[in-house]
Chains A and B, each alone.
Chain A
Amino acid sequence: MANIKRSPWLLHYDGSSCNGCDIEVLACLTPVYDAERFGVMNTGDPMQADILLITGGINSQNEATVKQLYDQMPRPKVVVAVGVCACTGGVFKDCYNILGGADTVIPVDIYVPGCAARPQAIIDGIVQAVDLFQKRSDEHDALVKEKKRKAKEGAARG
């Protein structure tokens, strides 16, 4: 967290959670916990989002929606599974309509446990996600730079 260069935007999607974690995610973004002080901002548009906060498990209907949201986010991106349902399926794991945690359809980077996940834990997850996003963006930038350099060299040679 020492030197943040970027200000990633958050997208929140409710998988099939019981609402407890969603409300806590929202509570994190309101004054008392105020996760926005870490430079993140809540957005409703997946095309502009960098970090996906997903709560609740995956069921047969939202499977496609979650995949679509993930694909719509520009690279690099970070996924945070908030709450035990998003991590493993939780208390609903044995229900007929639950396929499992969020990682059954999309790759998850950070798991935040808890039922419902506490704001402190969610903020910790967000901070880790910001760090990871920073790292990935740096790697991404280096790759782009390298590509450009090679293209330039190729052009100079040719």
Chain B
Amino acid sequence: MQQLGKTSVIPFGPQHPVLPEPIHLDLVVEDERVVEALPSIGFIHRGLESLTDKRDFNQMCYVAERTCGICSFQHGMGYCEAVEHIFGVETPDRAKYLRTIWSELGRMHSHLLWLGLLADAFGYENLFYQCWRIREKVLDMQELTTGGRLIFSVNKVGGVIKDIDVEKQKAILKAMDEVEEELSVIRKTFFEDYSVESRLKGIGILTAEQINALGAVGPFARASGVKADMRLLGYDAYPELDFEPITSEDGDCYARCYVRMLEVFQSIKLIRQAIAQIPEGELSVPVKGNPNGEYFMRVEQPRGEAFYYVKANGKPNLQRMRIRTPTFANVPALCEMLKNTEIADVGLLVVSIDPCISCTER
């Protein structure tokens, strides 16, 4: 009878239908139950932090944006703000508001993308297509205001290089109304459909203590009741906008879906507020010389808290640029969550942390 308790190892990935990106997990299973999950990453490791030797601090902004194509804008913004802190310059108010608007547009498109992928992971193809159809409206607004659909390159050290004029502001507000209306319909399906509920409720539960011990961040942590939202730090225009971090107490896949869905609506509200309050003024301040010093910048990305550590010694090339992405912080919690689950749920659970392998590995 000893054979029954025997464990076996099942490889998951790197090329796996549930994910568009490669991640590899070695799942130690006992019958159908996962005992342990050992991640091995590195399929997308490029080593972009080493580019500081070859690019100067202005050029690094564009490298930082390409850490991840989904939260691209916020990567560039976090990096630029870290360098701005070293210079000690204050960006103009209009630039702060513009950055906030683009950040929230980015958060909307990232969350809609994730909601679609989640629907795909539990086999609801129609819902997947609906989410991505709505997401295109957000992408259209990004394209209208910046010229790029995903990677905008509108940030620079000292401010932004493009403006959103009144016409475009109106277009954004119109698009927000449409998104809100159409998303309200989908929201019903996500929260009232019993088949969605049966697939998501009670799966992959993590408590707030576990989240804190394992250092998880972002909507993943907020779904377990950890009120961690770096927008409360008060960078950009956030101190002047009215919002409250969205949390849930359940800590399961359903709660993660709930938090992200509500955050899309929150982003719509934030964009409306920002457009109503946006002041006139310059887009950027001139920055002279080279940076000298170090700074830890924290921003709240769609996936959570991201760290930008910049160290410079007065030369054009930085000594060190470090990007700690939220997905990197979430990997230990993912491994913990996968313990004692059914093997059929692994794909869904991996999707539920909103994995972005290219920013995990940089």
Contacts and interface: CB of A to CB of B under 8 A. Distances in A.
Interface string A106-136: 0000000001101100000000000000000
B69 A23 contact: yes
B47 A95 contact: yes
A62 B22 contact: yes
Contact of A96 (B47, B116, B148): B47
Contacts of A118: 149
B63 interface: yes
B44 interface: yes
Residue of A19, A44, A57, A119 most packed against chain B (CB within 10 A):
A19
A16 B69 contact: no
A31 B129 contact: yes
B343 interface: no
A7 interface: no
A69 B358 contact: no
A95 B149 contact: no
B234 interface: no
Nearest to B13: A65
Given A16-B358, A18-B69, A65 B14 contact: yes
Interface residues of B, number: 41
A96 B70 contact: no
Nearest to A89: B46
B69 A116 contact: yes
B21 interface: yes
B51 A65 contact: no
B68 interface: yes
Q: Interface majority SS on B: helix, strand, loop or mixed?
A: loop
Contacts of B62: 91
Contacts, number: 121
A31 B272 CA distance: 28
B48 A95 contact: yes
A53 to B, nearest CB: 11
Nearest to B72: A20
A13 interface: yes
B45 A31 contact: no
A12 B18 CA distance: 12
Interface in B123-180: 128-129, 132-133, 136, 139, 148-151
B232 to A, nearest CB: 27
A30 B16 CA distance: 19
B63 A91 contact: yes
Nearest to A96: B47
A27 B136 contact: yes
B306 interface: no
A44 B150 CA distance: 24
10 contacts: A14-B21, A14-B357, A18-B66, A19-B21, A19-B356, A32-B133, A69-B15, A92-B48, A94-B54, A95-B50
> Which 8 pairs across A and B sit closest by C-beta, in order of nearness?
A20-B69, A44-B17, A19-B69, A30-B132, A95-B47, A97-B47, A16-B44, A32-B136
Given A17-B44, A18-B72, A118-B149, 16 more contacts: A16-B358, A17-B358, A18-B67, A19-B21, A19-B356, A19-B358, A30-B128, A32-B133, A32-B136, A56-B358, A65-B43, A94-B54, A95-B46, A95-B47, A116-B69, A116-B151
Interface of B: 14-17, 20-22, 42-48, 50-51, 54, 62-63, 66-70, 72, 113, 116, 128-129, 132-133, 136, 139, 148-151, 356-359
